[in-house]
Structure 1
Amino acid sequence: MNRIYDMFIAGGPVMWPLLALSIFTFTTAFERIWFWSRLLSQESRIVHDVLDAARYNLHEAEKIAQHARFLPIGRFLLAPLQLKRPTPETFRLAMEAAGDKEFVQMRKGDKFLETVVAIAPLLGLLGTVTGLINTFNNLNIGGGASAEQATKAAAGIGEALITTATGMIVAILALLVFRVLVTFQAQQVEYFSEVGSELELIYRQVWYEPSLVKEESEARALPDSTSNYANETFAVEEY
């Protein structure tokens, strides 16, 4: 522990912003791990329950999605189910709007991680450069460098390289976290698209198209009833 502390102090003032970046990186990683673990562990069950209920009762499917609204997949499925007798186009637009909004939340932390990947190595190089400058300034070139001075210079150069190594480590960790998050996000885009298409298909085939057929049948039957009523009225008047 003391050795780590000594190395940190030896790295110079640049180690402090690198420490802050590493803390924020780990904080972002843990927050995103919690977010994705909750989503991935429950979304399959929620999707199955909502789609299964939607084939028989849209209100029941809406209730299930309402209970799962604390997750992105729940809010995504709830958006079109809340509408009152929408057209398939409106149904799809509601899902697309909800999906776009959830994808923005899924990308939370990406910009920060990209910034860490870019800045951490540069901070490490900056610390190395300033460390080397201080090392060479302490050398007595004109009077001839003694063995003791050469040893101190070598130690100073080694200490200056600590910041470069630290900056690269922080950047690598941030890059690994970022790539994992991007992979999860790409998978969710495909999954949301698949689930949305299936829900829209259920709505079209089970609810919307049969209702159109029923309305057309009732509309065709109405003129016949009116005509029969007119004929009966005419017959009574003629009598």
Structure 2
Amino acid sequence: MATYGGPIMIVLAIMLIVAIYMFIERLITLKQALEEDKSFMNRIRDYIYDGKIDAAQKLCRETNNPIARMVEKGISRLGRPMNDVLVAIENVGNLEIANLEKGLVIMASISGGAPMLGFLGTVTGMVTTFYNMSLNNTGTIQLVDLSQGMYQAMVTTIGGLIVGIIAYFGYNYLVSRVDSVVRKLEARTMEFLDLLNEPA
């Protein structure tokens, strides 16, 4: 069926491959961002209370996930006003979130653009069909020619909708995963600030 759609089906196939690749790549990235050593914050607390700031920063670098990078920035601001610490952590958090959202705009564009591209293929296919029929000098229209032309035209609409639906659901799922990461980052930020306010 796909072979009847012409060049637009090739474009839609490329869009589908890109959407699937972006979904898998972002899913892996978000899964890694959500992974967390349960003892991480406790070890950070112990290091800070013991005055082992270098050890705490080393642990953050070795852990190497969004939470650890935010905590490391907060540790580097120890001794400054709490508001400065919070701003530094939030700045890193914003960068981390932007990195997690990288590529989602492509998924959104495919989810909206693929159906329109499919519809464009249908319109151009219909125009081509009727143009070819107008060149028929016999004065009669063969039903098989009309049905074949319409079949070819409608294939692109189906293809566009399939690609758009896949990209749409993939995009929304990834957005929900990003929201989960954001909530975890916010929770760990508050936990770190509470840690700094606790009496030693």
Displacement of 1:62: 2.5
| Structure 2 residue 140 is the aligned partner of structure 1 residue 144 | yes
Match of residue 120 from structure 1: 114
Unpaired runs of at least 5, structure 1: 1-6, 208-239
Q: Which residue, out of 46, 57, 63, partners 2:47?
A: 57
Post-superposition Cα deviations, 1:140-190, rounded to whole Å, max 9, x if no partner, equal 487122xxx201211221121010000111111111111011101112222
CA RMSD between the two structures: 1.8
Partner of 1:80: 74
Name the counterpart of 1:26: 20
> Contact 2:61–2:72 at 8 Å: present in 1 too?
yes
* Equivalent residue number for residue 171 of structure 2: 178
Give yes or no for the alignment of 1:102 onto 2:91.
no
CA distance in 2, matches of 1:29, 1:98: 24
The answer on whether the counterparts of 1:55 and 1:206 sit within 8 Å (CA) in structure 2 is no
DSSP-derived class of the 2:128 partner: helix
The whole-number CA distance in structure 1 between the counterparts of 2:95 and 2:167 is 25
CA distance in 2: counterparts of 1:188 and 1:162, whole angstroms: 39
CA distance, structure 1, for counterparts of residue 148 and residue 91 of structure 2: 59
Tell me how far apart the structure 2 counterparts of residues 97 and 51 of structure 1 sit (CA, whole Å): 20
The answer (yes or no) to whether the contact 1:131–1:160 under 8 Å persists in 2 is yes
8 Å contact from structure 1 (residues 73, 192) kept in 2: yes
The structure whose Rg is larger is: 1
Look up the SS of the partner of 2:178 in the other structure. Answer: helix
Unaligned runs of 5+ in 2: none
SS in 1 for 2:106: helix
Q: Distance in 1 between matches of 2:195 and 2:175?
A: 30
Which of 151, 155, 162 is the matching residue for 2:148?
Answer: 155
- Give the percent of matched residue pairs that are identical in Structure 1 and Structure 2: 27
TM-score (norm 2): 0.88
Measure, in 1, the Cα distance between the counterparts of 2:175 and 2:79.
Answer: 36
C-alpha contact (below 8 Å) 1:62/1:81 kept by paired residues: yes
The answer (yes or no) to whether the contact 1:88–1:204 under 8 Å persists in 2 is: no
1:89 has 2:83 as partner: yes
Partners of 1:152 and 1:33 in 2: how far apart? 46
> Which aligned pairs between 1:184-203 and structure 2 lie closer than 5 A?
184-203=177-196
CA contact (8 A) 1:117 1:172 kept: yes
Given that 2:23 and 2:174 are in contact with CA atoms closer than 8 Å, whether structure 1 keeps it comes out as no
Deviations for 1:55-84, whole angstroms, at most 9, x for unmatched residues?
Answer: 322224322211112x22221221111234
Name the amino acid aligned to 1:143: G
Deviation at 1:86, TM superposition (A): 2.5
Aligned length: 193
